[in-house]
Amino acid sequence: MSEDEYCLHVNAREASSLWMILADRTQSENEEDWVKYIPIFSRIIECWSRLGFVRLFQGAELPVYLSGEEVDVGGVPGLLGKSDSWAYGGNPRWAVCVVLGDRDLVELEDGMCT
């Protein structure tokens, strides 16, 4: 598992908002440092979502995974393409979080997301 995949896995276990993944990976609070990781995590999240390893939720109340609605797999790319989805406080009345999916990551094999 790559460092980026491990970071996503840890954050999904904690039902983190997308911006938290970027902050953890960069060890920075500066959103300018996060930008280069958005395409990397978008690609991993899209693949893992499609394969059932993670799920995304969006909503207005925390915790989002309990109060919000699950994002359909087909809607994941569009949601990840919105800059507000990744921004800290991008929209104070809306957040996106990632949680573990129904499949266990021990099933993840090299090359599944390439």
Q: Encoding tokens for residue 71?
A: 């994002």
Residue 110 belongs to a domain: no
Total tally of structural domains belonging to the chain: 1
Provide, rounded to the nearest whole percent, the portion of the chain with pLDDT above 90.
75
From residue 14, alpha-carbon distances to 9, 53, 112 in Å are 9, 14, 24
Residue 40 belongs to a domain: yes
Residue 114 belongs to a domain: no
In terms of residue numbers, what domain contains 42? Answer: 3-105
Q: CA 53, CA 62: separation in Å to the nearest integer?
A: 22
Residue 111 belongs to a domain: no
- This prediction has a pTM of 0.92
Confidence label for 90 from pLDDT (cuts 50, 70 and 90): low
For the stretch 11-34, pLDDT in tens is 999 999 999 999 999 999 999 999
Q: Encoding tokens for residue 68?
A: 């919000």
